[in-house]
């Protein structure tokens, strides 16, 4: 008989959601794959386990035979996880944590959190990797990573989320830009006719804000932050980004950052979250500590940069 564990998990997911589409989404597999698994399971068992409704095959109920099969499938799956949990509990955990992030790795918030974790856990090995937003939850569910740092929480019962911090949008421009002489961006009308550079993760949030009414001369969208930075360096446009994005470049004078006048720009703040599998909240306290702000961390880095620069000048002198 060619029934495997995946077939039983698929059967239980369809039973729980009573819908092929929702079950496939829960398992992070294409719906045709789910349908094939169910069809193969029914073929191997020799009877139908679901009754398809008149609305089509996506909405289903257990057949009489499916109801009889249900407790046996549950027992096999529950036994597997129970054995796995019991054996795992007897094995000393490796001092390694795999962290995935859909936020660019040079974001100061990422650096801050990793810095805190390294300081507290001297013998911990950290495997930090960038994973696109469309794949990061699948990686978390399949245990390719232990936790995820994301911009958007996924409302799914397999995960828990905790807010880490928030940032406001600021305008980033070249020192040679006409707006660079200002200390803040006062009026939204001053954006008319500008060349806009969107960083892909924030494109939707920005396009539903007040700037949706602005007529830009042209717009460029990129999911590569380094490319956005290079366009700004060359004075080829303006970009709204989280306030801490290019702190080293701001400090060196390569870019100019303008805060937004709150009464004129009522942008929604950018929120960062940490996501876990249910009941597996590794090092949670280090990622949601309230006593050390992102701004403090950035100011510490800038102070160190200034001290290094001063020392270098003294040596040259």
CATH number at residue 113: 3.40.190.10
Higher pLDDT pick, 186 / 237: 237
- Give the residue carrying structure tokens 């421009």: 173
Tell me whether residue 228 is in a domain. yes
Residue 81: its pLDDT value, please? 83
Residue 192 shares a structural domain with residue 251: yes
Residue 161 shares a structural domain with residue 110: yes
Residue 162 shares a structural domain with residue 283: yes
Q: How confident is the model at residue 239 (pLDDT cuts 50, 70, 90)?
A: very high
Q: Domain tally for the chain?
A: 3
CB atoms within 10 A of CB 247: 18
Question: What angle do the packed helices 5-17 and 64-89 form, to 10 degrees?
Answer: 120
Distance, in Å, from the CA atom of 24 to the CA atom of 37, rounded to the nearest integer, reads: 11
Residue 158: its pLDDT value, please? 85
Tell me whether residue 266 is in a domain. no
Residue 160 shares a structural domain with residue 173: no
277-303 pLDDT tens trace: 988 888 877 777 554 444 444 444 444
Residue 159 shares a structural domain with residue 307: yes
Specify the DSSP class assigned to residue 213.
Answer: G
Q: What angle do CA 12, 14, 16 make, to 5 degrees?
A: 70
Torsion 129-134-136-139 (CA) sign: negative
Encoded tokens for 132: 């696109």
| CATH number of the domain to which 54 belongs | 1.10.10.10
Per the CB < 8 A criterion, the answer to whether 117 and 285 are in contact is: no
Indicate the range of 12-26, 60-74, 112-126, 176-190 predicted with least confidence: 112-126
Residue 79 shares a structural domain with residue 216: no
CB-count burial class (<10 Å; 0-12, 13-18, 19+) for 153: middle
Cα–Cα distance list, 87 to 30, 35, 47, 92 (Å): 32, 33, 35, 10
Q: In which domain, by residue range, is 230 found?
A: 169-260
Encoded tokens for 34: 């789910």
pLDDT at 229 over 90: yes
- Give the residue carrying structure tokens 């007040």: 210
Distance, in Å, from the CA atom of 246 to the CA atom of 231, rounded to the nearest integer, reads: 13
Encoded tokens for 134: 């469309």
Phi, psi dihedrals of residue 37, rounded to the nearest 5°: -65, -45
250-260 pLDDT tens trace: 989 999 999 98
CB atoms within 10 A of CB 311: 10
Residue 192 shares a structural domain with residue 111: no
pLDDT at 56 over 80: no
């Amino acid at each position: 008989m060619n029934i495997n564990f995946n077939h039983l998990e698929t059967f239980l997911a369809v039973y729980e959601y009573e819908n092929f589409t929702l079950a496939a989404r829960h398992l992070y597999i294409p719906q045709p794959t789910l349908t094939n698994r169910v069809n193969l399971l029914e073929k191997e068992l020799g009877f139908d386990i679901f009754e398809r409704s008149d609305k089509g095959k996506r909405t289903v109920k257990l057949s009489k035979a499916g109801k009889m099969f249900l407790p046996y499938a549950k027992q096999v799956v529950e036994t597997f996880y129970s054995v796995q949990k019991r054996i795992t509990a007897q094995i000393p955990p490796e001092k390694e944590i795999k962290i995935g992030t859909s936020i660019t790795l040079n974001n100061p918030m990422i650096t801050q959190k990793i810095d805190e974790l390294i300081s507290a856990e001297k013998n911990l090995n950290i495997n930090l990797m960038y994973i696109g937003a469309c794949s990061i939850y699948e990686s978390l569910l399949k245990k390719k990573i232990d936790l995820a740092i994301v911009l958007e929480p996924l409302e799914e019962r397999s995960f828990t989320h905790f807010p880490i911090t928030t940032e406001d949008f600021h305008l980033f421009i070249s020192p040679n830009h006409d707006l660079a002489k200002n200390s803040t961006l006062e009026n939204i009308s001053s954006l008319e006719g500008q060349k806009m550079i969107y960083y892909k993760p924030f494109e939707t949030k920005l396009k539903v804000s007040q700037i949706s009414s602005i007529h830009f001369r042209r717009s460029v969208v990129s999911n590569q932050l380094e490319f956005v930075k290079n366009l700004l360096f060359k004075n080829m446009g303006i970009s709204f980004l989280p306030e801490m994005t290019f702190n080293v470049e701001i400090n060196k004078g390569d870019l100019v950052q303008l805060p937004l006048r709150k009464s004129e720009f009522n942008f929604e703040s950018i929120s960062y979250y940490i996501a876990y599998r249910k009941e597996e909240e590794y090092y949670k306290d280090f990622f949601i500590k309230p006593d050390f702000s992102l701004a403090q961390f950035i100011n510490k880095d800038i102070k160190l940069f200034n001290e290094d620069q001063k020392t270098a000048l003294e040596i040259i002198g």
